[in-house]
Structure 1
Amino acid sequence: MTETPTINLVERHLGDWARARLPSPLAEFVMFVLKQGWACLFGGLLLAAIIGSKLIWQADWSLRRYDALFLFAIVTQILFLHFRLETWEEAKVILLFHLTGTAMEWFKVSAGSWSYPEEALFKIMGVPLFSGFMYAAVGSYMARVIRLFDMRFHPYPPFAQTFLLAAAIYANFFLHHFLMDVRIGLFVATLVLFARTRIWFRITRHHLWMPLPVAAFLSSLALWVAENVGTATGTWLYSGQSVGQMVSLSKLGSWYLLLYVSFVTVTLVAPATIRTPPDDLRSGPNRSAPSR
């Protein structure tokens, strides 16, 4: 994805700061944490807004909390683009996540899977409009983390097969309300199709790798923790769940599957991630890539 001068400047300052002050192994770890934090900046700000608004909001305020979260998300997204903290290519990913996520929200809320208990002006079919930005935050993280870590998915399965799997996963989120839930088969399919796929990533110089299914599980675990924050604040609740009760571990599996839809969505707008192997693989293990 094309980088902008603002993104380059901020990220290089972070890298220069860590490398100048820390021993090499510790600098690697610190850079990994900083890059992960920078990648999930949009989601982190939205999560902070959810927690902060719950702590300070008063029932008699004229502006509803959900509406404030919606306005906060819009302003944040505008500022990200204005200050070039996200590229327009990344914005395409975010928009796709927003649209597919909002469609799922409308269906799931109408089906009684979860609910948003508070009132809001910007609320359609029981779904406050800020909810689409929660899915957009996942898209923002995916797009940014790929760029920050110079990620490559290699070797990658035939794209047609990955698209069919993603479509089947997304469809099952809807169809299991009427037909048999085939998520067990989908779990198996993700492992069969992506068993050989590695996510190659670079913290500073050389590419490292992690099996894609492992990365999907770790990411889904982080999303499950974030979802517990959302339900703990009463921002949304699953059917039969009370405020403070932990989200069922079955939702961890749902996020795991949804992340495969995310991977395929990203490859639609960033095909180089699957078509171009890392420099280390093309030019030999001793070649060093430019550090950031």
Structure 2
Amino acid sequence: MKHAMKQLVRFGYHQAMSCLFPVCIFLSLALTKVIEVPFIHRYDFILICCLLMQLFMFLSGLETKDELKVITVFHLIGLGLELFKVHMGSWAYPEEAWSKVGGVPLYSGFMYASVASYICQSWRRLDLKWQHWPGSWLTVMLGTAIYVNFFTHHIFYDLRWWITAALCLLFYRTYVHYRVGQHRYRMHAIVSYLLIAFFIWLAENISTFLGAWKYPDQELSWRMVHWGKYSSWFLLVSISVMIVAQLKRVKQARGEQSFDHKSKVLM
């Protein structure tokens, strides 16, 4: 029992350290909710906080150059999705800001980047290895389908449940192995995606409560985010892991050093 508790504490520590960037976003949202920042719009202040945190993590060595590249890619991907979703009325950013483009504050891309930051940090800190990872062309095709469906379901039939079924079928043999201290454990890939998505859904409820953005049914008063959004986060987590894994594979194929600079990655 004592050993199990020590392992749980170690695991919790690594998880907490992996969440530094997301925590920065939540703290900036929470503080600006109760304290009015003078001379600057709230969304602009949050953007500055995100940029400073990103700079700190890189300069302090908490984040590597390659991880910074991955996070930047996720920021751009997320920003593109935000521009489309806000245009379609899926949600809105009601407050004013100088850093708004098409009704979308630039800090919003960092919310997607924070997911990538968590994945990269966890990958390195827990020394993740994947057993029975699907072939590259299959993951690329499925990842593309997931991202495209976020756009096309506004125009055509929503294929998310068909895509979810394909995802479960593709990863039904896949396990993630992780190290805590001197011991290694494993978890089914789908279970790990579900757990991460659940905590992101909880974070989304906190974010909307703090005014990060608003869904149409939250215009008059805050209410919990619908469970249907959980499936969206599940798919987003899945594609995020796929992108990071694929980038790591590309680096391995080129014979370059892995992202973590310490241990070989991945399959």
Shared fold, TM over 0.5: yes
Aligned mates of 1:34, 1:271 — CA distance in 2: 28
Aligned mates of 2:248, 2:212 — CA distance in 1: 33
User: Contact between 1:53 and 1:65, CA under 8 Å: does it hold in 2?
Assistant: yes
Matches within 5 A, 1:59-98: 61-98=38-75
Q: CA deviation at 1:274?
A: 9.7
User: Contact between 1:153 and 1:274, CA under 8 Å: does it hold in 2?
Assistant: no
Correspondent of 1:205 among 157, 182, 190: 182
User: Contact between 1:267 and 1:274, CA under 8 Å: does it hold in 2?
Assistant: no
SS at match of 1:114: coil
CA RMSD of aligned residues (A): 1.7
Correspondent of 2:161 among 169, 184, 189: 184
Aligned to 2:25: 46
Correspondent of 2:230 among 227, 243, 252: 252
Matches within 5 A, 1:202-281: 202-242=179-219, 243-271=221-249
User: Any stretches of 5+ residues in structure 2 without a counterpart?
Assistant: 254-267
User: Contact between 1:64 and 1:121, CA under 8 Å: does it hold in 2?
Assistant: yes
Aligned to 2:259: none
Aligned to 2:102: 125
Correspondent of 1:149 among 97, 122, 126: 126
Q: CA deviation at 1:125?
A: 0.2
Q: Which of structures 1 and 2 has the bigger CA Rg?
A: 1
Aligned mates of 2:190, 2:252 — CA distance in 1: 16
Matches within 5 A, 1:9-48: 23-48=2-27
Aligned mates of 1:62, 1:124 — CA distance in 2: 20
Q: CA deviation at 1:167?
A: 0.3
Amino acid corresponding to residue 115 of structure 1 in structure 2: A
User: Contact between 1:92 and 1:269, CA under 8 Å: does it hold in 2?
Assistant: no
User: Contact between 2:21 and 2:117, CA under 8 Å: does it hold in 1?
Assistant: yes
User: Contact between 2:50 and 2:107, CA under 8 Å: does it hold in 1?
Assistant: yes
Q: CA deviation at 1:26?
A: 1.8
SS at match of 1:237: coil
Q: Deviations over 1:144-168 (max 9, x none)?
A: 0011100011111111101100000
SS at match of 1:201: strand
User: Any stretches of 5+ residues in structure 1 without a counterpart?
Assistant: 1-21, 276-292
Amino acid corresponding to residue 252 of structure 1 in structure 2: Y
User: Contact between 1:267 and 1:273, CA under 8 Å: does it hold in 2?
Assistant: no
TM-score by length of 1: 0.83
Aligned mates of 1:274, 1:40 — CA distance in 2: 26
Aligned mates of 1:272, 1:156 — CA distance in 2: 14
Q: CA deviation at 1:202?
A: 0.7
Aligned mates of 1:103, 1:190 — CA distance in 2: 23
Q: Deviations over 1:11-66 (max 9, x none)?
A: xxxxxxxxxxx9432211100000000001111111111111111126xx320000
Q: Deviations over 1:46-97 (max 9, x none)?
A: 1111111111126xx3200000000110111011111111011111210111
Q: CA deviation at 1:206?
A: 2.3
SS at match of 2:217: coil
Q: Deviations over 1:150-189 (max 9, x none)?
A: 0011111111101100000000000001111011101101
User: Contact between 2:24 and 2:49, CA under 8 Å: does it hold in 1?
Assistant: no
Question: How many residues are treated as equivalent by the alignment?
Answer: 252
Amino acid corresponding to residue 32 of structure 1 in structure 2: F
Aligned mates of 2:85, 2:189 — CA distance in 1: 28
Amino acid corresponding to residue 179 of structure 1 in structure 2: F
Aligned mates of 2:173, 2:251 — CA distance in 1: 16
